[in-house]
Amino acid sequence: MAKNLPLHTLMTSQKLKEIFLNTFKWILICVLIGMLSGSASAFFLVSLEWVTQFRVHHDWIVWLLPFGGLIVGFSYYYWGESVVKGNNLLLEEYENPKKVIPFKMAPLVLLGTLITHLFGGSAGREGTAVQMGGAIADQFTKLFNLDNSERKILIILGISAGFASVFGTPLAGAIFALEVLYFSKINIKSAILSFIVAYAAYFTVEFWQIKHTHYSIPNIPEISLHNIVYTAIVGVLSGFAALLFSRSTHFWGSLFSKNIKYPPLRPFIGGIFLAIAIAGFGFTKFSGLGVPVIVDSFSHQNQWYDFLLKILFTGFTLGAGFKGGEVTPLFFVGATLGSALSGIIPMPIALLAGIGFVAVFSGATHTPIACTIMGMELFGIQPGIFIAIACTIAYFSSGSVGIYKSQIVKGAKYKLYHKINSNF
């Protein structure tokens, strides 16, 4: 029967078949990556909560932080040299694909992060989830015999799945994966798949009944000129805080690398200083994620220096070679900064904490759109205009270097800084 069909009909039928099979392939990949990354994040979140609670109830364990650092240092020195760059490796492989990211990135960063938090290092969790997602996603390159252009899509999917699952924000996760890799190289196919995998990962975590932290901004003031000005001020200060955070992390990393040539000793020596500061001088509130402090900042005014100390402790921890992410510490920095500003800015404390929460993150990652969406996912759509203003201003006022050294800054910010530099 098919032999009697016109040639163009056969070609159209074959084309439709190819489109269907290709669509099915990518949806299948998205579902698999979402389920695997979501399950990995669920296990990570449960494990992270356990080690955090153990540390809280056995605060003496902070004194063992140097030995935890030694374990992390040795594990990456002997087994993880090819994945030690972490998130930056994902960005580099996206920009210039060379070889599939080794799967060992996932267990190594998981173990390293849990050790860091168990013994009291100041770090986050986003980096861990994103690296696990990226490592899992890139394994599909060989399974489906994908080329380099398709590998780029896999990296986007891994970042999206990891971010969405660990924070419970699928919309922000999908956009973050696209925005952090700069939109100019993203096509419609990548964007659609990013949303599919983000929701697949999000619902996987929901299936495992993992609960995320909830925040509330009960009082939203009217949109007026003076409130917009106040919001802009918070945005500028958040951008400066993001700049300080990024430079601090890079500074300590460079300092340790230059002065301690044997990598495993870096977190060991760094752990000694951290243990003395945290346990010896009572700075326990700056260890770990600091989620209780973040939650408290929405209702109680923080000290003006809390955000500075979190920048110091996190930059030192990550710079020394401990593992974890930067985003939750950025939330800590932003929320405590906004909370402290409630003493001089006549706006609700919860709103200021919420604005700072996402604005500092926006400045440090060059992702104002994702951070605005995240703010509305976490706090509701009502404060959206204030969040958008602060995230945009923080983005422009945070400098050209963010927390990811390998990130390529494009778009309006790139053009602005390029024009400024050319004039001088």
Q: Which two tokens stand for residue 87?
A: 């998130």
Phi-psi region of 150 (alpha: psi -120 to 50; beta: other; left: phi over 0): alpha
The Cα–Cα gap between 361 and 248 comes to 15
Structure confidence at residue 4 (pLDDT): 61
The architecture in CATH of the region 225-423 reads: Orthogonal Bundle (1.10)
Structure confidence at residue 416 (pLDDT): 58
Residues whose CB is less than 8 angstroms from the CB of residue 336 and which lie 6 or more positions away in sequence, other chains included: 293, 294, 297, 302, 306, 307, 310, 353, 356
- Distances in Å between the alpha carbon of 390 and those of 206, 209, 212, 218, 290? 30, 33, 24, 19, 23
Between the two ends of the chain, the Cα-to-Cα distance in Å is: 73
> Tens-digit pLDDT profile for the chain (424 aa)?
445 656 566 568 788 888 889 999 999 999 999 999 999 999 999 999 999 999 999 999 999 999 999 999 999 999 999 999 999 999 999 988 889 999 999 999 999 999 999 999 999 999 999 999 999 999 999 999 999 989 999 999 999 999 999 999 999 999 999 999 875 567 899 999 999 999 999 999 999 999 999 899 999 999 999 999 999 999 999 999 999 999 999 999 999 999 999 999 999 999 999 999 999 999 999 999 999 999 999 999 999 999 999 999 999 999 999 999 999 999 999 999 999 999 999 999 999 999 999 999 999 999 999 999 999 999 999 999 999 999 999 999 998 889 998 887 665 665 655 555 555 5
The Cα–Cα gap between 375 and 291 comes to 16
CB-based burial, 310-326: b 16+ in 10 Å, e otherwise: bbbbbbbbbbbbbbbbb
CB atoms within 10 A of CB 4: 6
- Distances in Å between the alpha carbon of 249 and those of 246, 289, 416? 5, 16, 25
Residues whose CB is less than 8 angstroms from the CB of residue 10 and which lie 6 or more positions away in sequence, other chains included: 2
Structure confidence at residue 18 (pLDDT): 86
Residues whose CB is less than 8 angstroms from the CB of residue 114 and which lie 6 or more positions away in sequence, other chains included: 44, 47, 48, 51
Whether residue 334 contacts residue 359, with contact meaning beta carbons closer than 8 Å, is answered with yes
Q: Which two tokens stand for residue 19?
A: 């489109």
Domain ranges of the chain: 12-207, 225-423
Report the topology of domain 12-207. Answer: Clc chloride channel (1.10.3080)
Domains 12-207 and 225-423 share a fold: yes
Whether residue 361 contacts residue 327, with contact meaning beta carbons closer than 8 Å, is answered with yes
pTM of the model: 0.94
Please give the single-letter amino acid code of residue 46.
V
Please give the single-letter amino acid code of residue 143.
L
The Cα–Cα gap between 269 and 320 comes to 8
Q: What is the DSSP string of 37-72?
A: HHHHHHHHHHHHHHHHHHHHH-GGGGGGHHHHHHHH
For residue 198, the SS3 value is helix
Structure confidence at residue 1 (pLDDT): 45
Q: Which two tokens stand for residue 72?
A: 């992390």
The Cα–Cα gap between 80 and 271 comes to 20
Structure confidence at residue 295 (pLDDT): 97
Please give the radius of gyration of the chain, using alpha carbons only, rounded to the nearest integer.
22
